[in-house]
Amino acid sequence: PDPRDKLFCHIAEHTRRQQNKISIIGIGHVGQAVLASLLFQKITDNIAIYDRDEDKIKGELLDFQYAAMYSSNTHIEGSTKINVIVNSKIVIITAGARRQKGDTRITLVQKNVEVFQDIIPKIVQYAPHAVLILVSNPVDIMTYITDKISCLPPGQVVGSGTNLDTSRLHFYMSHKYNVAAESCKGWVIGEHGETAVIAYSTLTVGGTYIEDINFKMGESCDIEKWSDIHNEVLTTSANIISLKGYTNWAIGLSVADLAHTIITNNKSVHPVTVSAKGFYCITEDVYLSLPAVLGENGVIEVVRLELSSKECELLRKSADYLYNMQKEIKI
């Protein structure tokens, strides 16, 4: 007789809840940080990882299976076969080509387009109802490309965008005024990159608009030197990369934060990459970050910010920059 029958009296079949399954595509530095963040914040108890590198998948799976002992009873499966993501509620995409010597920004994007043309239709085939969260860079362009390739309903494809840049802004605000970061509000919008816009008109501390007490924010005569914070927010990634070769922990937690909002359908507002056509006189089909209400099916609503004319102009410049890059891509 099976010793198991001595241990248990069998009543019903074991099942695993499917409605909270989250999959990660690409288990490099960023994918690992996303996985660790999902696991230790107990955002889901059902995770799948997919990568084309078999040793990496096997190694990370073994390592994380034991790490999961320190979290709730989380089930993690991994494979080089993409059907491991079947029935996911969220698919987080971090796979992408790495920049090689001599690669321009466009050649890198074009390599990623080829990767995405292969994997996106398969993701849609195995997880047609999943919200896709794009992380691979350049994230705004990759969100645009994924939306076009996937043909999913509006809002189901979303980019991590400036959610991380906005946290960085709150960090600097919190240090500047010596208050908790949760009491510092306001958005970084536009491209996740050099043309990102800190929307000064949206910044509040403890409910007070900073522009109401400092009319010169960001100008050369600004005694608070907001332009320094602007530079810090936008150059942080490059600084981290020059020191450790990549960034992963903050983006991992930032993406887990988005996943938490979506899986719990809690309708928090996050600045994420969405279709921006029609907002702030943007006429081109570009994707960039705007604050959006997120729920279980992705983007529900985009917040209409009352931006100043200068902020609108900067946002349109960001859109132009992205559109010019987009024009050179062959999908």
Q: Which residues are catalytically annotated?
A: 192
Any idea which residue has 């010793």 for tokens? 3
Residue 137 C-beta: closest distance to ligand 6V0, Å: 3
Note whether 251 binds ligand 6V0 by CB under 6 A. Answer: yes
Mind giving me the DSSP string for 200-260?
Answer: GGG-EETTEEHHHH-TTTTSTT-TT-HHHHHHHHHHHHHHHHHHHSS--HHHHHHHHHHHH
Nearest to 170 by CA among 192, 188, 185: 185
> Binding residue for ligand 6V0 (CB under 6 A) from 21, 22, 23, 30?
30
Interface positions, 99-118, toward ligand 6V0 (CB under 6 A) = 115
Residue 24 binding ligand 6V0, by CB under 6 A: no
* Beta-sheet pairing, 204-205 with 208-209: antiparallel
Residue of this chain nearest to ligand 6V0 (CB atom) = 28
Which position has the token pair 């946002």? 315
The yes or no reply on residue 190 touching ligand 6V0 (CB under 6 A) is no
**Residue carrying the six token digits 């960085």:** 168
Select from 43, 44, 51, 261 the one that contacts ligand 6V0 (CB under 6 A).
51
**CB-based contacts of 106, cutoff 8 Å, min separation 6:** 325, 328, 329
Q: Rounded to whole angstroms, how far apart are CA atoms 248 and 36?
A: 11
Applying CB under 6 A, the span of 34-42, 130-138, 195-203, 213-221 interacting with ligand 6V0 comes to 130-138
29 binds ligand 6V0 (CB under 6 A): yes
* Candidate residues 36, 44, 46, 96; the one interacting with ligand 6V0 per rule CB under 6 A: 96
The correct pick among 20, 52, 61, 312 for binding ligand 6V0 (CB under 6 A) is 52
State how beta strands 197-198 and 204-205 pair.
Answer: unpaired
Taking CB under 6 A as the binding criterion, the range among 61-69, 93-101, 122-130, 183-191 that sits at the site for ligand 6V0 is: 93-101
Query: Using CB under 6 A as the criterion, which residues of the chain lie in contact with ligand 6V0 when the complex forms?
Result: 26-31, 51-53, 56, 94-96, 98, 115, 119, 135-137, 139, 160, 164, 192, 246-247, 251
